Amino acid sequence: MNYTELSADLVKKCLANGADAAEVYLAVDRELSIQVQDGELETIQEASSQGVGFRVFVKGRMGFSHCNDLSAGSLESTLKQAISFARLTTPDEHNVLAADPATSQVEGLYDPAIADVAMEKKIDMAMELEELAMQDSRVTRSSGSGYGEGETEIYLANSNGLQKHYRSSACFLGVSVVAEKGEQKNTGGEYCSRRFFSDLKSPGEIAAEASRKAWELLDPQMVKTQRAAVIFHSDVGRSLLGGVISALNGERVLQGASFLKDSLEKSFASSLLTIIDDGTYPKGMASRPFDGEGTPTARRVLVERGMLRSFLYNCSVAHRAGTESTGNASRRGFTSLPGIGVYNLFVEPGTYSPEEMIAATPRGLLLKGVTGYGIDPVSGNFSGGATGFWIENGKIAFPVKGLTIAGTAYDILNAIDMSGNDVDLMQSFACPSLRVREMQIGGK
């Protein structure tokens, strides 16, 4: 089926059935997932699917419908549902569709070779990964390894004449193992996801990391409740900064539900903090040529040396705020309306190696794992469970588990006083290790 023609044709059908403006978002997916447990193939799942979402405006009112049956009769009755459902909603002058005909050039979104790799090879990779992760004698059990892949094609058309399409692929290889010692248990997991099959890390590299994470926290000790420095390891950058990104959502800001709502062009964090959102990064796991409503993606500085430079917008929220879309309309597949989201995030690295950061810390926590929601985007509060290593006199002293850390966003973000050079640019949230001078740590 020619989906480009189909999507354009469906826009016309929406208009013919009474919509004043219409957008058609059509997605075609293929997925394969393989799981291995204890050297046996545990599950294998394979499927293709497709679906279409209709967003229509009728006299300023918005209606949305979706279906996964692409027969002509079903498509017609579904688009009529969107039009009839629109009568329920309130007219809104900010209900606008994307109009920018440009598309960003993004290299390396699709690897045609993934599908050609034999199924047996993919199963073998997962088997090998599990076996390698179990080699260390401290690692006693496997929670399973897996390989996954997917391909997605997006077709977007709207009544402003936009007609866009892209294709992307992704593959995934990961494992989780358990280290035991007496009654103690600790899990360690590691995965790698890439756009291209040949870019996946080797099973040996992934296995070594998973295995190390499982055993390195054995024999933890408890520390007293105190205030001390906390080094957020690069793996937990998202836990620290995810709430900041959520608070930049332009709609949250307009609704007053963001702790950063009054901070635009103001300094709210340490001058060591610079955050860039990039939808165009070559081979980036979150890259794409246009956003969830067709606006071209871009590279954008969100935070510059602690100064808030930009909120995030889709078309309707930008219209309401009196500005332009930043190309940050996100979409969770064809069943959802455009929300607001980000792409590949890069936190500017510093000059210190992680070892230098530890050596410069007389007493504190090297944080390797955080549980909880991170910074609350509404109130700016942070509280979470913490695991990692205790630092005494500039050296790793022992592993710690079962601690808590807490503070307010302003206090934590302004207390960032060292940033590392250890950033992995292939992470979709690429963050170096960051040291917070002092935080409340809860223990015994």
CB-count burial class (<10 Å; 0-12, 13-18, 19+) for 351: exposed
Identify which of 13, 24, 102, 120 has the alpha carbon closest to the alpha carbon of residue 64: 24
State which residue, 65 or 159, has the beta carbon closest to another protein: 65
Contact between 410 and another protein per CB under 8 A: no
Contact between 103 and another protein per CB under 8 A: no
Residues 292-321 that bind another protein (CB under 8 A): none
How many residues touch another protein (CB under 8 A)?
118
State which residue, 172 or 398, has the beta carbon closest to another protein: 172
Least distance in angstroms from the C-beta of 359 to another protein:
26
Identify which of 182, 179, 176 has the alpha carbon closest to the alpha carbon of residue 136: 179
Contact between 44 and another protein per CB under 8 A: yes
Per-residue contact string for residues 154-193; x = within reach of another protein by CB under 8 A: --------------x-x-x-xxx-x------xxx-xxx-x
Of the ranges 153-161, 264-272, 300-308, 397-405, which one interacts with another protein (CB under 8 A)? 397-405
State which residue, 252 or 300, has the beta carbon closest to another protein: 252
Contact between 385 and another protein per CB under 8 A: yes
Per-residue contact string for residues 257-296; x = within reach of another protein by CB under 8 A: x-x-------------------------xx----------
Of the residues 17, 160, 383, 421, which one makes contact with another protein according to CB under 8 A: 383
Residues 218-257 that bind another protein (CB under 8 A): 225-227, 236, 239, 242, 245-246, 249, 251-252, 255-257
CA dist 72 to 9, 75, 153, 172, 274, Å? Answer: 11, 5, 20, 36, 50
Contact between 86 and another protein per CB under 8 A: yes
Report DSSP letters for 386-419, one per residue: EEEEEEETTEEEEEEEEEEEEEEHHHHHHTEEEE
Contact between 115 and another protein per CB under 8 A: no
Contact between 60 and another protein per CB under 8 A: no
Q: Give residue 85's Cα distance to chain centre.
A: 32
Report DSSP letters for 271-335, one per residue: TT--EEEES--TT-TT--SB-TTSPBP-EEEEEETTEE---B--HHHHHHHTS---S-EE-SSTT
Of the ranges 1-9, 157-165, 269-277, 367-375, which one interacts with another protein (CB under 8 A)? 367-375
Contact between 384 and another protein per CB under 8 A: yes
**What's the distance, Cα to Cα, between the start and end of the chain in Å?**
64
Tokens of 138: 């401290």
* Helix H or strand E encompassing 241: helix 237-247
Identify which of 280, 283, 277, 299 has the alpha carbon closest to the alpha carbon of residue 168: 283
Q: What is the DSSP letter of 348?
A: P
Tokens of 64: 């949305």
Least distance in angstroms from the C-beta of 174 to another protein:
5
Residues 66-85 that bind another protein (CB under 8 A): 66-69, 73-74, 77-78, 81-82, 85
Identify which of 392, 346, 402 has the alpha carbon closest to the alpha carbon of residue 366: 392
Rounding to the nearest 10 degrees, give the CA dihedral for residues 387, 388, 394, 398.
100
Of the residues 327, 377, 388, 399, which one makes contact with another protein according to CB under 8 A: 377
Of the residues 307, 321, 337, 360, which one makes contact with another protein according to CB under 8 A: 337
Q: How far apart are CA 290 and CA 167, in angstroms?
A: 11
Contact between 17 and another protein per CB under 8 A: no
